[in-house]
Homo-oligomer: A and B are copies of this chain.
Amino acid sequence: MPERIPEFESEEVRKRLESVGIELDESRRSATFVQVDQDAVAAESFYEGVEVMSIKQALEKYDWLQDYFWKAVKKEQDDYTREADSPDVNGYFIRAKKGAKVQFPVEACLYLRTQGHRQRVHNIIIAEEGSELNIISGCTSHPGVAAGMHIGISEFFVKRDAKLTFTMIHSWESDIEVRPRSAAIVEDNGVFISNYVLMNPVKLVQMYPTAHLNGKNSRAVFSSIIVGLEGSNVDVGSRAILNGENSSAEIVSRTISRGGRIVARGHLVGNAPEVKGHLECRGLMLSDNGSIIAVPELEANYPNVDLSHEAAIGKIAEEEIFYLMARGFSRDEATAAIIRGFLDLEIKGIPDVLKAEIDKAISLVEKDLL
């Protein structure tokens, strides 16, 4: 296994990593994976219930892993999935063994190092029966690497009674294109929690992660916090397909446009008895430029379902600002407090270090605003 590369000790790079929730302090993580362009440069686990390695290595080690490839995501889905099906693909294999309950997060970083590189990633994540796994996947680019492409396939398998929390933090630069393609297959009583945070400029992010809730009483929760800065084009949706009896899903997003274009999609599909889903999109316009477009879909293909949706897009209400100003806040403080309240999504399973990171990002947005 390659040792941590010295470059990652530099202050500048550390900051990039921290901004996507990756901290190099061993005492607060259960495992680490770092990929730079196509090379896995670090992969180690500090907890015996968790296995972490590069997908290349894992495919050599486990014959059965082949059966998980392109099982949740379709290889023929689009040009990007086809491009990811290449011999130089790398990525991470993360597995929580049967019954293992892993408190500290596994931290996985996909790092775009070379200007103009097309990073192709294929990740397989398995939470075995009765396990609990918490992953932070931070994707970022090297300071100064302005152009490039990130294509990331992630396939999640949440077995019976398992719980998998996956938090993806993106911190790119303004000329980078990002196309994750993710899907999860969730078995009986399994829980899949997916969080997404984007606060920095990016040329384009386009993704539509899907949870296939095939098991009885299976559950998915998708939460997204997206700030669209000037010049950014962000098209993000979450989809839950409720195939299992009594399965349930929740999709929540908070989007802020500071000049960027954001499309917040959502799709709940009810295919089985007693399923329940709720979709909520809220958008805040903070700039004269930019757009927020909410496109939520509810689809009932079975009578005994309960699907609901609510959405609202607007600007900060002047009354709210006046209310706070009457209580001694300055106009800027009042605005900042309202934005902070708007973004205060109760993200499930998110560690403190990440909460602090989100807070920092919010502060930056506030500063730009004022």
Contact surface of A with B, Cβ cutoff 8 Å: 257, 270, 281, 283, 285-288, 290-315
With A292-B300, A295-B297, A298-B311 known, 17 other A-B pairs at CB within 8 A are: A257-B300, A270-B313, A288-B303, A291-B299, A291-B301, A295-B296, A296-B296, A296-B311, A298-B312, A300-B313, A304-B315, A306-B312, A307-B311, A308-B313, A308-B314, A309-B312, A310-B310
**Is the CB–CB distance between A298 and B310 below 8 Å?**
no
Would A294 and B309 be within 8 Å (CB), given that A288-B303, A302-B285 are in contact? yes
**Is the CB–CB distance between B309 and A296 below 8 Å?**
yes
Distance in angstroms between the alpha carbons of A18 and B230 in the assembled complex: 56
A295: chain B residues within 8 A (beta carbon) = 295-297
**Is the CB–CB distance between B313 and A285 below 8 Å?**
no
Min CB–CB distance A93 → chain B (angstroms): 37
A302: chain B residues within 8 A (beta carbon) = 285, 288
A-B contact pairs, 28 of them (CB 8 A): A257-B300, A270-B313, A281-B298, A283-B300, A285-B302, A285-B303, A288-B303, A290-B301, A291-B300, A292-B299, A292-B300, A293-B298, A293-B299, A295-B296, A295-B297, A296-B309, A298-B311, A298-B312, A300-B313, A303-B315, A305-B314, A305-B315, A306-B313, A307-B311, A307-B313, A309-B312, A310-B310, A310-B311
Distance in angstroms between the alpha carbons of A27 and B305 in the assembled complex: 48
Number of copies: 2
Among A292, A294, A295, A300: residue with most chain B CB under 10 A: A300
Min CB–CB distance A72 → chain B (angstroms): 23
Distance in angstroms between the alpha carbons of A11 and B70 in the assembled complex: 63
Name A306's closest neighbour in chain B (CB-CB). B314
Distance in angstroms between the alpha carbons of A312 and B294 in the assembled complex: 16
**Is the CB–CB distance between A285 and B309 below 8 Å?**
no
**Is the CB–CB distance between B283 and A303 below 8 Å?**
no
**Is the CB–CB distance between B305 and A313 below 8 Å?**
yes
CB < 8 Å: which of B288, B292, B305, B309 contacts A311? B309
A305: chain B residues within 8 A (beta carbon) = 285, 313-315
CB < 8 Å: which of B281, B294, B303 contacts A287? B303
Distance in angstroms between the alpha carbons of A300 and B300 in the assembled complex: 27
Min CB–CB distance A319 → chain B (angstroms): 12
**Is the CB–CB distance between A307 and B300 below 8 Å?**
no
A283: chain B residues within 8 A (beta carbon) = 298, 300
A294: chain B residues within 8 A (beta carbon) = 296-299, 309
Would A314 and B285 be within 8 Å (CB), given that A294-B309, A295-B295, A309-B309 are in contact? no
Name A293's closest neighbour in chain B (CB-CB). B299
Name A270's closest neighbour in chain B (CB-CB). B313
